[in-house]
Structure 1
């Protein structure tokens, strides 16, 4: 089976993890801050807070922005459920902004209209989570300007997008958001097994997210309510969580970061090759936003004929092509239907879902396997 995505682990990665296993610290040691500093430097953000998953990063990002009961979070329906769930974890309500049909990201025009209507109704969101679908940035300059004009805070869910660029700068620099989140899950661009990171340029947000990832505890005397009882002393200032990343995970992530340019170059070459090889078939290729250079976490095609969606998908799987579908619209999940959402709420995302297939794309995919994917797809479309 040729998978839709997979990790690429080198001997250097294995050696890096082994060094931690032979060290004095498996967790809360020196490697996590090294990884945070390296990622922050790479993308041009002031602070990085490493956690055990991108979901955890989204949660502490929302909490640090004081999202809570009575507040509202907006996000894309075309994403993994974590982009919406982070708002629910904080007790907030959630709503969705439909996507652009070419880039699969939040449509800036639809966002503008929805914000105007929300302002008139007196029910603006407190937080907008702008998802970078497949590794390509949304139109963040416009999205950020729209959001900030209404006092809305912006989180970039760039789980797919480490190594991507937008307007000539690395995604993750937080030029258009308060906080940006990366994922280091095994199928992402680089991996720490499980893991994520929240990036920000705001010292106060960074300090709060760092505290929230570790039970809301501080050892800083300046933050304590009274003089410390002794050198052992700490205080829990607020309710936090155990979202810490281990040094083993950080060591793997740090080693993988050294290979990021190689991984990205290969993914971009594969995406370009797909564009050429699939041209003229009965499908739509992924669109490319002017000013954005994708990291190509995913390559998603959309069939012209939605009635053949399942047959083509199952045929490719039967041929050993491990295709997948990213994503089922979040508003159609049973949990969100229970909150009042349903079919017709986000028609562009629903049309996308009816036709989309994620085909194999990862740094270790060789030219022969890619040719096999193309041939199988051509055969099933012609059947």
Structure 2
């Protein structure tokens, strides 16, 4: 029987046709497909600017640079995230620290952040940037984080790699009401895909201008950004040290086509989540809790094992599910446990909720192309392993 992955892209005939159209056009890159995709995402989210890049990691790096993060500065984020949420600071030669998670949403805890900021203010060592990660697609408590950002003077990035198509307080994630920059990921297991790719959204003209330069070698053809009048129609200038972070038109065509189905993708994920909620309700598991202020993109469905009731270890359950062809995963190993970060000397006792999460969490299959039969098979495997 074919294994069931924890996530999988859904490519339609229309998606394929959109890509083929670009492949047979005059532009494989730096053509019209990228701005068309950017306009579609910006319009969906209600943001002024959207800048497509070759990955969400690149977008995070460009966002940090645009915000002026550099040597001697601090970036704080959650430890329960992919390494890119913290690595972006190290690329800028800044330092990283972590804030413990909320025990119900698994996002960065506003209470823990408040306490950490109060201590940091007394020590005179406040963060310049906080990266709030919308884990599983559920938005963080952005209103509280924005109040703290205004009070303590840090910039706020939403790492919404899991969250396109979701909403917060009735408004689309990515609209920039509570943050300086929002980042989306379009990796194949995410809600929509461009194969690889990411995007930065902002309502700030200067931040958009900086990120636009940074993603393309620091080169501009805009006379207003040049040091003198152009020498001719061929002329361009490199005005900053930038990177080759551009998205191709091939990728953008796929993303634009996928955006046309995003509402259906999110609706199906919520249907699957409701079915999981019902079918798993009587098992010794803690099921995902959704905060009423947010509407999750449901990139992931994370269960937590009630180990005191199961009689099997976390690893034993994980391995047994994989042996049955249910390709579960764990999102994520707390970053301070990674050897590279552990060398900086973080104290695990500072993050009791993240540690508890890591002892118990398993991501079970969740993707919009999943059939009811596949989902039933997942549940039956969980029941058998926990019996």
TM-score range, shorter chain: over 0.9
Match of 1:367 among 368, 372, 375: 372
The structural deviation recorded for 1:342 is 4.2
Between the aligned partners of 2:282 and 2:344, the Cα distance in structure 1 is 42
**RMSD over aligned Cα, in angstroms?**
0.9
CA distance in 2, matches of 1:311, 1:186: 28
TM-score between both structures, scaled by the size of structure 2: 0.97
- Pairwise mapping of residues 89-128 of structure 1 onto structure 2 (< 5 A)? 89-128=91-130
Q: Which runs of 5+ in 2 are unaligned?
A: none
Question: Counterpart of 2:330 in 1: which secondary structure?
Answer: coil
Cross-structure match for 2:326: 321
User: In the alignment, is residue 137 of structure 1 matched against residue 147 of structure 2?
Assistant: no
Structure 2 distance, partners of 1:371, 1:304, is: 21
Taking the aligned partners of 2:150 and 2:196, their CA distance within structure 1 comes to 33
1:248-269 Cα shifts (integer Å, max 9, x gaps):
0000000000010111000000
Asked if the contact 1:332–1:342 (Cα under 8 Å) also holds between the matched residues in 2, the reply is no
Task: Find the residue that maps to 2:193 and give its secondary structure.
Answer: coil
Deviates more, 1:225-234 or 1:363-372: 225-234
What's 1:204 paired with?
206
1:347 aligns with 2:352: yes
Work out the number of aligned pairs and report it: 382
Tell me if the contact between 1:4 and 1:361 (Cα under 8 Å) persists in the aligned partners.
yes
C-alpha distance in structure 2 between counterparts of 1:293 and 1:233, whole Å: 47
Which piece of structure 1 moves more, 285-294 or 300-309?
300-309
**Runs (5+) with no aligned partner, structure 1:** none
Confirm whether residue 379 of structure 1 aligns to residue 381 of structure 2.
no
Where do residues 154-303 of structure 1 align in structure 2 (5 Å cutoff)?
Answer: 154-303=156-305
- Indicate the residue corresponding to 2:362 in structure 1: 357
> What SS is found at the alignment partner of 2:157?
strand
State the shift of 1:235 in Å: 1.2
Of 4, 7, 18 in structure 2, the residue corresponding to residue 5 of structure 1 is: 7
Deviations 1:152-190 (A, max 9, x none): 100000000000010000000010000000000000000
